[in-house]
Amino acid sequence: MAVTYRDWLLDDSPSSRLQAGLGRSYRVSMALARNPLAVAGALIILTLILMAAFAPWIAPYSATGQDLTNRLMPPSAQHWMGTDELGRDIFSRIIHGSRITLMIVTMVALISAPIGLVVGAVSGYFGGSTDRIMMGLTDIFLSMPKLILALAFVAALGPGIENAIIAIAITAWPVYARIARAETMTFRDAEFIAAVQLQGASSTRIILRHVLPLCASSTIVRVTLDMAGIILTAAGLGFLGLGAQPPLPEWGAMISRGRNFILDQWWVATMPGFAIILVSLGFCFLGDGLRDVLDPKQENKQ
């Protein structure tokens, strides 16, 4: 065969959107594969996803099954990470807990990123007073302490995992609005936007079909980098008893339970902490790698 798949993917003048899209993903993944930290991050996250998907099959014990004769057992061959105060296997609980962590980060990203993108793109596209008002509001949210705001929202909404997700999402969107606006401003006056306008496309159509896709890559980078912060906030809410409620094996709540035994049975509180650190680091590594590939100019921004 004269033309390999690789050549087709790397074609400089792709003949369809699909080919262009696949080619781009191929180039990005090739560049990522050359960065060992990014690969490590991707592997950690892949493991997290697999763990969440197959939790009941992977976990050696049930997440909620109590065994009061085996309370607070140190790590051993039977219980790799020991057991908690109700005799539950901590390793199994951590595996099941990955489902909760994954759900929280996914939901927060799915709620806050689109809100931020739309606010930012609309603001940047229309400019003028629309821009001033929307960015004024965004700036107010941006200059608030995120964790405190999330705490206050949960206090008003009531504890629980759904409310924690809503509260975190409310505090997370302004960053994406800023990014989307900055991106939109750079190509708002570009020829191709003018061309679509001349064809009579509506503003909604232009924003949805032409502006938002171009903001996507920098937003993806930012969302990946923010994941660690989201995980930490969610765990913090869980630790304070405001997030996932017992007996759910949420990692922050598990640390909170282990607090009473920290001096003698260190593993109860420590093990879930390692899980949080590992997953957060995974997102950091991947985010750093993605940024280097997709958006090198963001290096210094926080």
Q: Which is nearer to another protein, 119 or 212 (CB)?
A: 119
**Cα 57 from chain centre:** 25
266 binds another protein (CB under 8 A): yes
252 binds another protein (CB under 8 A): yes
Cis peptide before 247 (omega within 30 of 0): yes
**Total binding residues toward another protein, as defined by CB under 8 A:** 49
12 binds another protein (CB under 8 A): no
The pair of structure tokens assigned to 164 is 């924690």
Q: Which is nearer to another protein, 189 or 299 (CB)?
A: 299
Site for another protein in 282-301 (CB under 8 A): 283-285, 288, 299-300
CB within 8 A of 241, min separation 6: which ones?
A: 159, 253, 256
Q: Which is nearer to another protein, 183 or 288 (CB)?
A: 288
Measured distance CA(178)–CA(182) in Å, rounded: 6
240 binds another protein (CB under 8 A): yes
Fill in the amino acid letter for 302: Q
267 binds another protein (CB under 8 A): no
Q: Which is nearer to another protein, 150 or 211 (CB)?
A: 150
Site for another protein in 136-195 (CB under 8 A): 136-137, 139-141, 143-149, 151-157
H helices present in the chain, as ranges: 5-10, 17-33, 36-53, 55-58, 90-126, 128-142, 146-157, 161-187, 191-198, 203-205, 212-239, 251-258, 266-294
CB within 8 A of 230, min separation 6: which ones?
A: 104, 105, 108, 109, 168, 172
Q: Residue 207 gets which letter from DSSP? A: I
Q: Which is nearer to another protein, 182 or 206 (CB)?
A: 182
Residues engaged in binding another protein (CB under 8 A): 136-137, 139-141, 143-149, 151-157, 228-229, 232, 235-236, 239-242, 252, 255, 258-259, 262-263, 266, 269-270, 273, 276-277, 280-281, 283-285, 288, 299-300, 302
